[in-house]
Structure 1
Amino acid sequence: MSRKTQKRPVRTAATTLIAGLVLSSVFAVGAQAQDLIGSYTAYIGQPDLVDQTGARLTQPWQVLRQDRANFHRYGISQPGDEFDPFFGTIKNRKNMERMAKNGSIDATAAKRLMEGRGLVYVRIYGRGNTGTAINVTAAK
């Protein structure tokens, strides 16, 4: 093989790698380019830790969903709970798990959710009336 032929695959691999990195970052930016369609603060109390049958919830997103069901459907709230227009429907509450997987729940917020004490701040992202992700942080 000539020297020129030996170098060509290296350049092609490097070019392919760079092109792949550029494309992946373009898609990542596009996937994150969502609108903030709502936000609210929720105080997580003991009623938010169990479902309607009394079973203890085991995931932070479940507690958050129960908090919104308690607030909107059952009229149960604690001081610090705020209204949100998005999770007033059962359809949107059913999407809470998917939205949490597409977003994030920080460690301090997750601890507050599972212990049933403290405020969390929820940002809802999506397009129009369709939510795609939530980001949950500990409120001060």
Structure 2
Amino acid sequence: SYVARISDRDHRASDGYPLSSAAQMGRQDRANWHKFHRRDSDDQGDPWFRSDGSRADLQRMLERGGAMSSATRRAIVNGEPLIEVDVYSDSVRVSIVED
């Protein structure tokens, strides 16, 4: 698992357009960590999402119904929560550590 702050910089794609879903923001957080080295002070590294393809897989897993509660999705889209992401072989589970 890893911990990440979904900050304002994670609410926008690399080219600046606004993202609309928690799954997109979770993917952008990992792109900011691995590819662009734009890291929030609360962010932790991970060994899973280094490549563009693995981050696309992350987004697909985050889009599944069981990945996070609707309250967690809202907190990510509407705020800058600290989240914990538990990573399994073919799924992830996201929980809020701090709103």
Scaled by the length of structure 1, what TM-score is found?
0.64
Q: Aligned residues, how many?
A: 97
Between the aligned partners of 1:53 and 1:87, the Cα distance in structure 2 is 20
Q: 1:68 aligns with which of 20, 23, 30?
A: 30
Question: Residue 138 of structure 1: CA displacement?
Answer: 0.4
Q: 1:98 aligns with which of 39, 60, 69?
A: 60
Q: Is the aligned partner of 1:44 residue 2:9?
A: no
Tell me the equivalent position of 1:134: 92
Tell me the equivalent position of 1:109: 72
Question: Residue 102 of structure 1: CA displacement?
Answer: 6.5
Scaled by the length of structure 2, what TM-score is found?
0.88
Cα RMSD, aligned residues only: 1.5
Q: How far does the alpha carbon of each residue in 1:51-103 deviate from its partner, in whole angstroms, 9 at most, with x for none?
A: 01211111100000000000110001111100111011211101123212174
Unaligned runs of 5+ in 2: none
Tell me the equivalent position of 1:24: none
More helix by share: 1
Identity, % of aligned pairs? 29
In the superposition, relative to structure 1, how do residues 63 and 46 fare at CA in structure 2: closer, same or farther (>3 Å)? same
Question: Of the two structures, which has the highest relative contact order with CA contacts closer than 8 Å and spacing of 6 or more?
Answer: 2
User: Are 2:23 and 2:60, in contact at CA under 8 Å, matched by a contact in 1?
Assistant: no
Between the aligned partners of 1:85 and 1:110, the Cα distance in structure 2 is 24
Secondary structure class of the residue paired with 2:61: helix
Paired AA for residue 83 in structure 2: V
Structure (1 or 2) with the larger CA radius of gyration:
1
Unaligned runs of 5+ in 1: 1-38, 127-131
